[in-house]
Structures are given as C-alpha cells and as structure tokens.
Structure 1
Amino acid sequence: MKQLPIFVTLEGRKVILLGTGEMADAKRRLYERAGAELTDDEAAEDAMLAVVAIEDEEEALAAVHRLKARGLLVNAVDRSALCDYTTPAIIDRDPVLIAVGTGGKSAGLAKAVRQRLEQLFPANLGSLAQALHAARDRIREIWPAGGDRRRAIDAALDPGGPLDVFTGKDETDVDQWLAMPSAASLSQVIDIELTSADPDDLTIRQARLLGQADQIFADAAVPESLLVRARADAERFALSLWDEQPSEGLALRIRMKA
C-alpha cells in the first residue's frame, strides 16, 4: 500500500483550484459537492488543499512547486507523479462513502471498478448507517466493552444477520435487533485450511473471517499477501505460539494445506 486512504471534512473549508476547462470544472463539481469553499486566489492564506488543473505543462509545474513550497497538499490533475493526494472514484450512499483509487495510475480503471460496485450496494445503506449512529448510546449500554460491541455489530451485519442490508434489512430493523440482542461469543476459535497462496482463491467466508478476526495464528507457509486481507489492528502470531498466547475474541488458526 503506497497511499493511506483518508476521508477529509471539507465543509466550509477553503480549497485553491487553479485552471479552467473540463478538468477544472469536474474538480469544481466534486469539491463543491463535499462542501468546500473554492477559490482561484493562489495566495489564499487559509486554504488547506490545492488543486492544479492547468493544461499547459510548464505553467502547471510552476504552480505545483509554488503551492508545495507553502506546505499545501496538492492534487495535480493528470500528473500523478506530482500529486500529494489523489481523488478516488466514489460510491455515495451518504454518509457511507466507498472510494476506489489506483494511486493516480488510472482514473479510468477506478471508474470501471466503481461502476461495477455501484450495482452491488443498496440505496438504503446510508439510512442504516444513520440509524446505527442514532443508536450508539443504546448499543453501548447493551455491550459496554468495545470488543463485545464490535463483535455484536459484526454478527448483526453478517450475511443472513438481523441487519444484513444485502437481504433487504434496513434502518427499521435496528430497534428489533436491540430489543433481542445476542452478542457474539466472547471467545471463539476457527480453524482455516487454505488450499492456495493466491488471495483471489479465498472463499467469501474466509475473507469475511479475516476481516473480523481479533487474533490470527498463522503457520510460516501462509503468505503475507493473504494476511494483509485481515483487519489492520488484528494481532498476529506464529501458529507455534498458540499454546502460549491466550486467545481473545475471534481467533483464527490458519494453515496451508499440505
């Protein structure tokens, strides 16, 4: 991973946009949609970001250098080597945002992936997010411990779970879920035997478990390309340490099939 995806709050914040034409207009629409206050004043002192959408190569390069010299993060349109940040293709289910980026390598590819994914995510995804946000205090009361809370929410959103939005569940189901809560078990161990070192060969279940696991115990034959599919904050251990390290939450024991 060569870029860290982040979501930046631009509501009411100033962003410098230099350039005219189709590229600049596209960026203007995107940033205004996010609530940014755009200015073409390169000297604006309270700007937090800058976008250079100038067609002329030398003029664009000079503008990028001037803005970077001020300490601003710059997006240089169609010049990925000059970019401090890039803007992804976006699936908008406000407040849920799904971003697809290629590190500036191919906006066309990012758009193609976004168009495929767009068909998968239901329109009520944002409404469910709002309902879960509104129920935060109730959720904390039922599951005071952070780990228990995360596991309960994971179980509710799992395929076939009481809040599985892909099977027609929506914000109206949150109250029913909280009225009959069933937290995931405090400790669960699942064994996974992999038949391939190719991440594309992971089953849907295996990929889901990797994304939920609190601890991962993997033998030396399991490649890093598979383990990076796990939660970034999951604890990782060698499988040989299984008997020494107490398991907590959802623990996976992963082996490669001989």
Structure 2
Amino acid sequence: MIETLPLFHRISGRPVVVLGEGDAAEAKRRLVERAGGVVHADLGTGAAAGARLAFIAHEDDARAQADVAAAKAAGMLVNATDRPALCDFTVPSILDRSPVLVAVGTGGASAGLAKQLRLRLEALLPQSLGSLASALQSARGRLRERFPDAGERRRALDAALTAGGVLDPLVTGSAERVDGWLDGAGAQAGECVEITLRSDDPDDLTLREARLLGAADVVIHDSRVVPAILNRARADAERRIDGAQRRPDRLTVVLRLPAGA
C-alpha cells in the first residue's frame, strides 16, 4: 500500500517560500524557479501570504523545527530537507521530457536511490518523448472525431502506444507519425485472457501476468480475489464480480485487453 499520493502541483507565477542556506536551500530555489514559481525567503512578508508550499532547508535543528511550525500554522504544506518526520510532502527525483515529467520518489527513505533510478530511466526515455506528448495534445480534436466513444479511443491509443506500436514512445520519431496514424487508425477488439492465481500475494504473479493485468480494460474476477491483486490493474479499468467463476479448486481473473496488448 502506498503511503503518499504523487501529485503534480502547478506553481507558475505563484509564491513559494524557501528558507535556509547552503547547497540544499539553493537546490530548492532552483527547483521552484524552474517550475515558474516565485521564491520568497521570509514567512512574514505580505507577498508570501498566498504561498501554499514551503521548503525549509536550515542545518540547525531548532531553527528548522521553528520555521516548519510557523509555516504549517500559516496553512502551508512543508518540505523539510533531511527531516522526513517533519515533511508534509517529499520532492522526487525528476526526469524532464517536457511536457512529460517522470517523478521517482521513495517517500523520503533514500534520495540517492531515487536519483539512481532516475538516471537509469534517463538512458531509456528518448528526448523525443516530449514531442510525442505535444503532438498527441494537438491532435485531441481529431482523435475525438476519429473515435467518438471514450472506450474505443482508449483502446486505439493503447494499441498505438504499446511496445512495437506505430506510436511506440520509446522509438525516436513517433511524434511525426501521429497525423498518419489518425488518417488510417482503427481500433480492434482486444482478446480475453484468463489468469490462474497461485496465492493472494501479488509478488507471485509472473511478469507477463502483471503486465497483462496492468493493461486490461476490464477485469472480471471472483469475489474472493484480494484487493492486493486487483490493485495491480489500472485504476480506470472496469471491474466486474463474476459469481459463475466460483470454483473451490482454483481462483481466476479474466482480463479483456486492448488491441495490441
């Protein structure tokens, strides 16, 4: 179970309080400025009155605790550098392929681990990924015209964006194929796959089973299937309880997959 909720918070043009000194505070200032926020270095200024976020990067514990308390009393959410117990939120390691952002977090457990995972992903995700996202955003109107039904539209995108698909996001040049794909795209009904569960532990799923579960549009399951397994499916996947599946000798999940999965 996750203990934090990952969110992308818009701060462009908005005040953000950053208090502290040294490299840690300077890194937070750069982070805020890169996102378009307006840095304020004083909790008491009127200009900072509308701030929702505060970064506290003091080296002295007593000073950090005092400013954290003051910021929270003012209604701000607080990040306190190297003090996870005082934090309302943590700052992930960010991979920037604007407008695509990949944030890797560990809930404050290890910034070094998050950084190394991000560096591995840097080598996998091409610079053209942002161009693909922008091209898809520009094509929203055409996409809705081509596929008026939301489910059909999602299946068409799933098929195009899957590994080896015409818009495979890990292949350089996919952005240039968006218009041609829309000119001739067609969504096909996907197949159904049955998974036999070996236990209630999601770690016992094979890599293939986990991938299929995460790709399914519809998950049809026995009522005895535990939430830990079902949570491996997409949050927007349709879920159905099928009483006819009840068998004492085995527990199964039937998945309806998008075309190309």
State the TM-score bracket (shorter-chain normalisation). 0.7 to 0.9
Q: Residue deviations 1:216-253, cap 9 Å, x none?
A: 1234675543322211122334443569xxxxxxx617
Q: TM-score, normalised by structure 1?
A: 0.86
Query: Could you tell me which residue of structure 1 aligns to residue 95 of structure 2?
Result: 91
Query: Could you tell me which residue of structure 1 aligns to residue 150 of structure 2?
Result: 146
Aligned pairs (5 A) from 1:21-32: 21-32=22-33
Distance 1:214 1:19 in 2: 48
Distance 1:159 1:201 in 2: 24
Q: Which amino acid aligns with 2:76?
A: L
CA 1:216–1:99 in structure 2 vs 1: closer, same or farther (change >3 Å)? Answer: same
Query: Could you tell me which residue of structure 2 aligns to residue 248 of structure 1?
Result: none
Q: Residue deviations 1:180-216, cap 9 Å, x none?
A: 111132x642222355765456455433332232321
Query: Could you tell me which residue of structure 1 aligns to residue 232 of structure 2?
Result: 229
Aligned residue for 1:86, secondary structure, equals: coil
Give ranges in structure 1 of 5+ residues lacking alignment.
244-250, 254-258
Aligned pairs (5 A) from 1:100-115: 100-115=104-119
Shift of 1:115: 1.5
Distance 1:195 1:123 in 2: 41
Checking the alignment, whether the CA contact within 8 Å between 1:162 and 1:169 is kept in structure 2 is: no
Identical-pair percentage: 53
Aligned residue for 1:166, secondary structure, equals: coil
Matching of residue 240 in structure 1 with residue 248 in structure 2: no
Checking the alignment, whether the CA contact within 8 Å between 1:48 and 1:73 is kept in structure 2 is: yes
CA 1:175–1:36 in structure 2 vs 1: closer, same or farther (change >3 Å)? Answer: same
Aligned pairs (5 A) from 1:157-196: 157-185=161-189, 188-194=191-197
Aligned residue for 2:96, secondary structure, equals: strand
Q: Which amino acid aligns with 2:40?
A: T
Checking the alignment, whether the CA contact within 8 Å between 2:129 and 2:170 is kept in structure 1 is: no
Q: TM-score, normalised by structure 2?
A: 0.86
Q: Which amino acid aligns with 1:155?
A: A
Give ranges in structure 2 of 5+ residues lacking alignment.
247-253, 257-261
Query: Could you tell me which residue of structure 2 aligns to residue 15 of structure 1?
Result: 16
CA 1:241–1:183 in structure 2 vs 1: closer, same or farther (change >3 Å)? Answer: same
RMSD over aligned CA atoms reads 2.2
Checking the alignment, whether the CA contact within 8 Å between 1:90 and 1:99 is kept in structure 2 is: yes
